[in-house]
Structure 1
Amino acid sequence: MWRWTFVLYVSMTASAHVSRVVQLPQGPVRGYRDPGGDIFTFYGIPYAAAPTGVNKFKAPLPPPTWQETLEAIDKGIICPQADFAPIVPKEKLMQEDCLIANIFQPDTKKNNLPVFIIIHGGGFQIGYGNWLTGENLMRTKDMIVVTFNYRLGKHGFLCLGTKDIPGNAGMKDQVALLRWVKHNIAAFGGNPSDVTVGGYSSGGASTDLLVLSKSSRGLFHKAIPESGYGIGAFSVQPNPLKIAKTFAKRLNFTNTDDIYALENFYKSASLELLMMDAVVTEVDNSYFFSPCVENDVDDESFLIEDPISIIKSGSYEKVPMLVGFSNMEGLNRIDLFEKWKNGMNENFANYLPPDLIFKDKREKEEVAKVIKQFYFNDRPVSNDNILSYINYFSDIFFTTPILLSIKMHLENGHDQIYLYEYSFADKNVALIPHTNVRGAEHCAQSMAVFDGTGLIQPDESNITLEYKEVKRTMRELWSNFITTGKPVSEGSPFPSWPAVRANFTPYMSLGQTLELKSALLERRVRFWSDIYDKYYHTPVPPPKLRISYDEL
Structure 2
Amino acid sequence: MPSLLHAALLACAAIAGLTSAEVLQPQVTTSLGTLVGSVQQTVKGRNFYAFQGVPYAKPPVGKHRFKQSVPIGPWTGVYNATRVPNMCIQESNPIFAPHNPLDSLGVEDCLYLNVFTPKLPSEQADGKLLDVIVYIHGGAFKVGAGNIWGPLILLDRDVILVTFNYRLGVMGFLSLEDNLVPGNNGLKDQTLALQWVQKYISSFGGDPTKVTIAGMSAGGASVHYHMLSPSSAGLFKKAISNSGSPLNPWAITKNPRATALSFAKALGCPINDTLLTLRCLRERPAEHVIGAVAIMTGGDILTLPFLPVVEPPGPNAFIDEHPIDLIEAKGFNDVPALFSYCDDEGSIFSLNTYLDEKKLEAVESNWDVVIPQANLFDVDPVKGKEIAQQIRKRFLGDKPLKDSAREYSQMFGERMFVDGIQKAAILHAEHQTSPVYSYRFSFVGPTKFNMLEAAFDGLGYKGGASHGSDNSYLFNALYLKPIKDFPELMGMAETMTDIWMKFIAEDPVSGWSSVKSGLPKITFLDVKSSNPSENLWKTEETVGQQFWDSLNLPQANSETTQNDQHSEL
Deviation at 1:135, TM superposition (A): 3.4
Q: Which residue number in structure 2 is paired with residue 422 of structure 1?
A: 441
The answer on 1:229 being equivalent to 2:249 is no
The answer on 1:220 being equivalent to 2:240 is no
Alignment partner of 2:33 out of 21, 27, 39: 27
Pairwise CA RMSD: 3.0
Q: Which residue number in structure 2 is paired with residue 545 of structure 1?
A: none
The amino acid that maps onto 1:457 is L
Asked whether the equivalents of residues 237 and 336 of structure 2 are also in contact (C-alpha less than 8 Å), the reply is: yes
Counterpart Cα distance in 2 of 1:136 and 1:161: 42
After superposition, what is the alpha-carbon deviation per residue over 1:410-451, rounded to whole angstroms, capped at 9, x for unaligned? 332456111111111124455766545142111100111112
Q: Which residue number in structure 2 is paired with residue 294 of structure 1?
A: 311
Deviation at 1:464, TM superposition (A): 4.1
Alignment partner of 1:241 out of 233, 244, 257: 257
Counterpart Cα distance in 1 of 2:507 and 2:262: 43
Deviation at 1:254, TM superposition (A): 7.7
The answer on 1:474 being equivalent to 2:496 is yes
Counterpart Cα distance in 1 of 2:73 and 2:434: 41
Counterpart Cα distance in 2 of 1:137 and 1:75: 19
Asked whether the equivalents of residues 86 and 110 of structure 2 are also in contact (C-alpha less than 8 Å), the reply is: yes
Q: Which residue number in structure 1 is paired with residue 474 of structure 2?
A: 449
Helix, strand or coil: the match of 1:74? coil
Deviation at 1:86, TM superposition (A): 4.7
Counterpart Cα distance in 2 of 1:120 and 1:243: 25
Closer/same/farther in 2, CA of residues 288 and 340 from structure 1, 3 Å limit: farther
Q: Which residue number in structure 1 is paired with residue 281 of structure 2?
A: 266
Counterpart Cα distance in 1 of 2:303 and 2:325: 21
Asked whether the equivalents of residues 357 and 537 of structure 1 are also in contact (C-alpha less than 8 Å), the reply is: no
Counterpart Cα distance in 2 of 1:348 and 1:9: 73
Counterpart Cα distance in 2 of 1:416 and 1:241: 38
Closer/same/farther in 2, CA of residues 254 and 300 from structure 1, 3 Å limit: closer
Closer/same/farther in 2, CA of residues 265 and 371 from structure 1, 3 Å limit: farther
Helix, strand or coil: the match of 2:207? strand
Helix, strand or coil: the match of 1:45? strand
State how many pairs are aligned: 520
Deviation at 1:240, TM superposition (A): 0.7
After superposition, what is the alpha-carbon deviation per residue over 1:500-536, rounded to whole angstroms, capped at 9, x for unaligned? 531443211111231222215x3522211222xx232
The answer on 1:60 being equivalent to 2:78 is no
Alignment partner of 1:356 out of 369, 372, 377: 377
Alignment partner of 1:539 out of 550, 553, 557: 557
After superposition, what is the alpha-carbon deviation per residue over 1:57-85, rounded to whole angstroms, capped at 9, x for unaligned? 10112203212111211244211111124
The answer on 1:102 being equivalent to 2:114 is yes
Counterpart Cα distance in 1 of 2:471 and 2:70: 31
Counterpart Cα distance in 1 of 2:137 and 2:31: 26
Alignment partner of 1:123 out of 140, 145, 166: 140
Closer/same/farther in 2, CA of residues 428 and 237 from structure 1, 3 Å limit: closer
Q: Which residue number in structure 2 is paired with residue 548 of structure 1?
A: none
Alignment partner of 1:165 out of 181, 184, 204: 181
Q: Which residue number in structure 1 is paired with residue 362 of structure 2?
A: 343
Counterpart Cα distance in 2 of 1:100 and 1:20: 19
Counterpart Cα distance in 1 of 2:445 and 2:48: 29
Deviation at 1:355, TM superposition (A): 5.3
The answer on 1:381 being equivalent to 2:401 is yes
Alignment partner of 2:486 out of 451, 457, 463: 463
Q: Which residue number in structure 2 is paired with residue 484 of structure 1?
A: 506
Alignment partner of 1:206 out of 215, 222, 225: 222
Closer/same/farther in 2, CA of residues 59 and 12 from structure 1, 3 Å limit: same
The answer on 1:44 being equivalent to 2:59 is no
Counterpart Cα distance in 2 of 1:331 and 1:174: 29
Counterpart Cα distance in 1 of 2:300 and 2:107: 31
Q: Which residue number in structure 1 is paired with residue 156 of structure 2?
A: 139
Q: Which residue number in structure 1 is paired with residue 90 of structure 2?
A: 81
Closer/same/farther in 2, CA of residues 220 and 374 from structure 1, 3 Å limit: same
Deviation at 1:315, TM superposition (A): 1.6
Closer/same/farther in 2, CA of residues 78 and 368 from structure 1, 3 Å limit: same
Deviation at 1:489, TM superposition (A): 4.2
Counterpart Cα distance in 1 of 2:359 and 2:259: 23
Counterpart Cα distance in 2 of 1:281 and 1:380: 29
Counterpart Cα distance in 2 of 1:45 and 1:314: 35
Helix, strand or coil: the match of 1:28? strand
Helix, strand or coil: the match of 1:170? helix
Closer/same/farther in 2, CA of residues 76 and 183 from structure 1, 3 Å limit: closer
The amino acid that maps onto 1:23 is T
Counterpart Cα distance in 2 of 1:350 and 1:52: 39
Closer/same/farther in 2, CA of residues 387 and 356 from structure 1, 3 Å limit: same
The amino acid that maps onto 1:363 is K
Counterpart Cα distance in 1 of 2:298 and 2:469: 20
The amino acid that maps onto 1:519 is E
Deviation at 1:268, TM superposition (A): 2.6
Asked whether the equivalents of residues 284 and 350 of structure 1 are also in contact (C-alpha less than 8 Å), the reply is: no
After superposition, what is the alpha-carbon deviation per residue over 1:11-67, rounded to whole angstroms, capped at 9, x for unaligned? 569753432222211111122222445311111111111332143010112203212
Alignment partner of 1:16 out of 22, 28, 33: 22
Closer/same/farther in 2, CA of residues 366 and 320 from structure 1, 3 Å limit: same
Closer/same/farther in 2, CA of residues 281 and 514 from structure 1, 3 Å limit: farther
Q: Which residue number in structure 1 is paired with residue 465 of structure 2?
A: 440
The amino acid that maps onto 2:221 is A
Asked whether the equivalents of residues 138 and 145 of structure 1 are also in contact (C-alpha less than 8 Å), the reply is: yes
The amino acid that maps onto 1:129 is G
Q: Which residue number in structure 1 is paired with residue 539 of structure 2?
A: 518
Asked whether the equivalents of residues 33 and 40 of structure 1 are also in contact (C-alpha less than 8 Å), the reply is: yes
